[in-house]
Amino acid sequence: MDRSNEAPDGGARARTGAQPSSTGRRAFLKTGLKTGLGVAGAAVAGGMAGRAGATPMTAGAEADPATLPPNVPWWNQYLGDGVAAHPYGSPSPYEAHVVRRNVEWLTATTESSVNFTPIQDLYGFVTPNGLCFERHHGGTAEVNPVDFRLMINGLVDTPKVFTIEDILRFPSVSRFHFLECAANTGMEWRGAQLNGVQYTHGMIHCVQYTGVPLRVILDQVGVKPNGTWLMAEGGDSAGMHRSVPIEKALDDAILAYAMNGEMLRPENGYPLRLVLPGWEGNMWVKWIRRIEVGDKPWHTREETSKYTDLLENGKARFFTWEMDAKSVITGPCPEKPVLHKGINQIKGLAWSGRGRIKEVHVSTDGGRNWMQARLADPVLPKCLTCFNAEFEWNGEEVLLQSRTVDETGYVQPTMQALQEVRGVNSIYHNNSIQTWLVNKTGEVENVRLG
């Protein structure tokens, strides 16, 4: 894996001495950061090559004795930054390794590409806006909201054009939903490929969307009785199009303008995107500029040559909208080795495009025996659910797996079971059980069983 895209791991770890003044402290922060990067970089190259953010926050770093009790550390002795210093806040410099990453060989250009959410470094089920993976086929469109328009035409009584101000005047809803790219885990169909959960499972994010239910906007134009399909069109250079059945539009689809309490980020579709809870990310058209109502699907590029699954018999599955139930352990994982013998925590994420997660089971012996994991509240429909469980590590090799069951009773399959039905030609919709091998040193590897 090419590592040139990786943000330096570790941030400022090696710090020494009390700081004489706030300016001195800042100057030190700068050099401290540089030194820290060098030290962390060397550590990564030595032990964990090819893994994103491979070490925990403090691993390998020596604490500065001058800062430890009963001493009063330097940050306790000087005034800190004032309230005007950070009009828009950002994470601690010690968290500089928690970033989106991309894999250079996956796509030819960064404009038509993808980066990955660092799920191994996140807590709870909400993804911070700046860490939501991005997938765009023609780069981020820079839309000035003043010039933004959404046009609705086709089989409607009154075609209309809406400004963003118009959209903001309708009654809003706020809901938490995951968005998973259909290609998430797509590189893993034929064998274990990428050694990091960020890369194998990081084409997912989960935020609280605020917007207007699509049905409210459709009421404004009056869908004709034969209007059974919508075509959603993006306003970026890729001009993405997807056909959406009217039932979904009238059920839980949202035209969202905000994520996690603030307006959408440009890369996620500012100022307006389509949210189709539980359905494949490709259909969540960003920078949406037009909705056409019709009486049949359009069979656009994104639902024929792409986002279809070629089966062994030469036929292809298409319109595979719902994301099947899936789970993954996000610690331990290749980026988070097991550091202690004795009791360790397993943590992970589970989700289903069909509703709520009912159960998660974890195995430490490659799926022979399973135990029930705890689900963390809240367990919301079509939303990430966190789970955790204990496991005791005595320094032996362990094969960690998780398996989820959703409220429809659907059980996450093994890769063998999935391949029996789907063959080996697919890229999209790989929701199979992931195996992590914890080896005797505590390092963790992506492996395929059987």
Judged by the rule CB under 6 A, the positions of this chain that interact with ligand MTE are: 132-137, 179, 181, 205, 234, 236, 238, 240, 267-268, 281-282, 284-287
CB of 131 to ligand MTE, least distance (A): 11
Closer CB to ligand MTE, 277 or 281, in the complex: 281
74 binds, among ligand MTE, Co ion, none (CB under 5 to 8 A by kind): none
CB of 238 to ligand MTE, least distance (A): 5
Closer CB to ligand MTE, 134 or 406, in the complex: 134
Instruction: Enumerate binding residues for Co ion (CB under 5 A).
Output: 135, 181, 281-282
Closer CB to ligand MTE, 275 or 375, in the complex: 275
d(C-alpha 123, C-alpha 206), whole Å? 12
184 binds, among Co ion, ligand MTE, none (CB under 5 to 8 A by kind): none
CB of 354 to ligand MTE, least distance (A): 19
CB of 282 to Co ion, least distance (A): 4
Closer CB to ligand MTE, 262 or 390, in the complex: 262
Confirm if 326 and 431 have CB atoms less than 8 A apart. yes
285 binds, among ligand MTE, Co ion, none (CB under 5 to 8 A by kind): ligand MTE
256 binds, among Co ion, ligand MTE, none (CB under 5 to 8 A by kind): none
Closer CB to Co ion, 281 or 332, in the complex: 281
236 binds, among Co ion, ligand MTE, none (CB under 5 to 8 A by kind): ligand MTE
| 280's tokens | 């494949």
CB of 216 to ligand MTE, least distance (A): 22
234 binds, among ligand MTE, Co ion, none (CB under 5 to 8 A by kind): ligand MTE
Closer CB to ligand MTE, 199 or 436, in the complex: 199
CB of 203 to ligand MTE, least distance (A): 6
CB of 236 to Co ion, least distance (A): 14
268 binds, among ligand MTE, Co ion, none (CB under 5 to 8 A by kind): ligand MTE
Give the residue at shortest CB distance from ligand MTE. Answer: 234
Closer CB to Co ion, 135 or 175, in the complex: 135
CB of 181 to ligand MTE, least distance (A): 3
Closer CB to Co ion, 210 or 282, in the complex: 282
